[in-house]
Amino acid sequence: MANKVAKRIAASREGIDRAKLYSIDEAVALIKERASAKFDETVEVAMNLGVDPRHADQMVRGVCQLPNGSGRSVRVAVFARGDKAEEAKAAGADIVGAEDLMETIQGGTIDFDRCIATPDMMPLVGRLGKVLGPRGMMPNPKVGTVTVDVTEAVKSAKGGAVEFRVEKAGIIHAGVGKASFSAEALVENIKAFADAVQKAKPSGAKGTYVRRVAVSSTMGPGVKIEPSTVANS
């Protein structure tokens, strides 16, 4: 079994120059050609930024609405009461609650991918910081997950909104589609994501902001991209 996996990995890397910077179109074509798993592989983009997120003025975070969706089914939980709770249910939220939802999460059950809250619920949700924070699920007004417009927030999350946050090494990564997507759809999504990251450039960033960009599929090799080709012209 291990030999089969090793052979498949070696085969997927054939024809890829690890030192070369490919154009975004070339990179996407290579990734699609080599996505040979028995499931629909996720295509992920990774960007190495010239920032040190330990400094508050160099933190990069935001949200990107992928024009062609993410290709994955997103389960959404909403903290809301009364009319807003009903609004969230009507918009398609999978889980809606208040104290009951908080207790469920504290009990170790997190059956959702995205968490949204109305502003009045934040004192309650704040108690879950140690649980939701490390998972990147804590609602935040900067990425539109703390809002009175729960209908828009739920539909956005379901429709392919991708949150991003720079990690310690200055790297941002996100799933931007599936290998079954057309090359054109993947290119559009990658460019939209890169554009959102560019717009989130912090005031403290010095020198080259986007240093390296690479794209890969779940089981495939990484392909380096010439950063200038991911910019929306």
For 163-182, what is the mean pLDDT? Answer: 91
Let me know the angle formed at the C-alpha of 132 by 42 and 154, rounded to the nearest 5 degrees: 65
- Is this structure's pTM higher than 0.85? no
Q: Determine the Cα–Cα distance for residues 117 and 190; give it in Å rounded to an integer.
A: 28
Residue 155 has pLDDT above 80, yes or no: yes
185 touches 60 (CB < 8 A): no
Q: Determine the Cα–Cα distance for residues 85 and 161; give it in Å rounded to an integer.
A: 21
pLDDT band at 10 (very low <50, low <70, confident <90, very high): low
Interval 127-137: pLDDT, tens:
999 999 888 88
pLDDT confidence of residue 73: 85
pLDDT band at 75 (very low <50, low <70, confident <90, very high): very high
Query: Per DSSP, which regions of the chain are E strands?
Result: 42-49, 61-65, 76-79, 95-97, 114-117, 161-165, 171-178, 210-217, 223-225
Q: Determine the Cα–Cα distance for residues 191 and 100; give it in Å rounded to an integer.
A: 40
Q: Which residues contact 142 (CB under 8 A, 6 or more apart)?
A: 61, 62
State the chain's mean pLDDT as an integer. 89
pLDDT confidence of residue 220: 87
Between 44 and 232, the higher pLDDT residue = 44
Record the tokens describing residue 221, joined without a space.
Answer: 């090799």
Q: Which of 229, 231, 232 has the alpha carbon at shortest distance from 26?
A: 229
